[in-house]
Amino acid sequence: MAGNHIQLITDGTAYLPVSRLRELGVISLPIVAKIGGQLYMYDQQTYGHLDLLREMKRARHPVEIVGPAPDDFRAVFERTLYRTNRMVLILSSRHLSPVVRNAQIAARDFMGRCDITILDSQTVSVGLGLLVERAGELLLQGELPLPEIVRRIRGMMPHIYVVIVSHTLDYLYRSRKLSAMQAVLGSILDIHPFMEMEEGDILPLEKSRRSDKALDKLLEFASEFLQMRKMVIFQSQPEPSDEVMRLHGRLEQLLPNQEVPIIAYDPIIASFVGPDAVGLVIYEGMA
């Protein structure tokens, strides 16, 4: 058994190319979402979230994140024990899915046999991918003890920002981000909530009566950063919508030297905001 090796494990929302995950030796467990009795699997190799988003738009069913389940984590821990008994997990925010809790349940069965560190990333998707990539790089270098690597990854978390505009309210109501009264009035008044992820939870902050005004909030938020290492637009479909192309063009004018890729968001975000949202992930980097 390679006693000095530390296995890095994450979940399928970590937005990193498959080649990079392999290069860093990261194990990624797919996210499994359930909607209308149908299961959809998602990671960077299986793009079931696109079918999920289409089904959400068609039927407006609630979405339940059901995996990776404790048994999935147990299976990975057992396999990893053949190589090492030291593991570190960086996972999607515990406020948004049961993934962290499921990993903790599984880890209890390995107490005394494994040294398992579980980190709540307080984010998902691109933000989670940034944390996993940096942790993988530091582990590969092998120069720092695990507590110092954990400290550095935790230090990155407050510098990753996620902001979202939703054009429908039913999923926000189901996920208890809006009260029944707020959802009814918001639908009548055609409200478009502007939300920010704070300490891993999605919180509605402001409400706009027009969708273009809500997009202005995204631009205003992006303009506040004096330095920016990465920015990504996420939306609910694989091809950029007209709305997203307008947002992309305005961001290019605002930040002409910043590359801004466009991606489809993952099942965890979809379970909260539904199939009618657009948002930004911004990493301002470390001072």
Q: What is the rounded average pLDDT of the residues 114-125?
A: 97
pLDDT reported for residue 44? 81
> Which of 35-39, 136-140, 181-185, 282-286 has the least mean pLDDT?
181-185
The alpha carbon of 40 is separated from its chain's Cα centroid by a whole number of angstroms, namely: 17
Q: In what order do the strands lie in the sheet with 86-91?
A: 27-29, 7-11, 86-91, 115-120
pLDDT reported for residue 50? 87
Domain range holding 206? 159-283
pLDDT reported for residue 162? 97
CATH of the domain at 137: 3.40.50.10170
Separation between Cα atoms, residue 157 and residue 187, nearest integer Å: 34
Residues 149 and 212 in one domain: no
Residues 113 and 166 in one domain: no
Length of the chain: 287
pLDDT tens string 37-54: 899 999 887 877 888 888
Separation between Cα atoms, residue 192 and residue 246, nearest integer Å: 17
pLDDT reported for residue 102? 98
The answer to whether 106 and 74 are in contact (CB under 8 A) is yes
Q: How many domains does the chain have?
A: 2
Confidence of residue 1 (pLDDT cuts 50, 70, 90): very low
Out of 108, 133, 157, a domain closes at 157
Out of 157, 172, 196, a domain closes at 157
**DSSP string covering 81-132:** TTT-SEEEEEES-TTT-SHHHHHHHHHHTTBTTBEEEEEE-S--HHHHHHHH
Separation between Cα atoms, residue 87 and residue 80, nearest integer Å: 8
pLDDT tens string 128-181: 999 999 999 999 999 999 999 999 999 999 999 999 998 888 888 777 777 656
Residues 90 and 176 in one domain: no
Residues 198 and 92 in one domain: no
| Residue 2 pLDDT exceeds 50 | no
Out of 157, 173, 205, a domain closes at 157
In a domain, 1, yes or no: no
Q: Enumerate residues 6+ apart whose C-beta is below 8 A from 164.
A: 194, 195, 196, 197, 202, 269, 273, 277, 278, 279
pLDDT tens string 223-277: 999 889 999 999 988 889 999 999 999 999 998 989 999 999 999 999 999 898 9
CATH of the domain at 190: 3.30.1180.10
Question: pTM of the prediction?
Answer: 0.93
pLDDT tens string 59-111: 888 999 999 999 999 999 999 999 999 999 999 999 999 999 999 999 999 99
Residues 129 and 175 in one domain: no
In a domain, 58, yes or no: yes
| Residue 186 pLDDT exceeds 90 | no
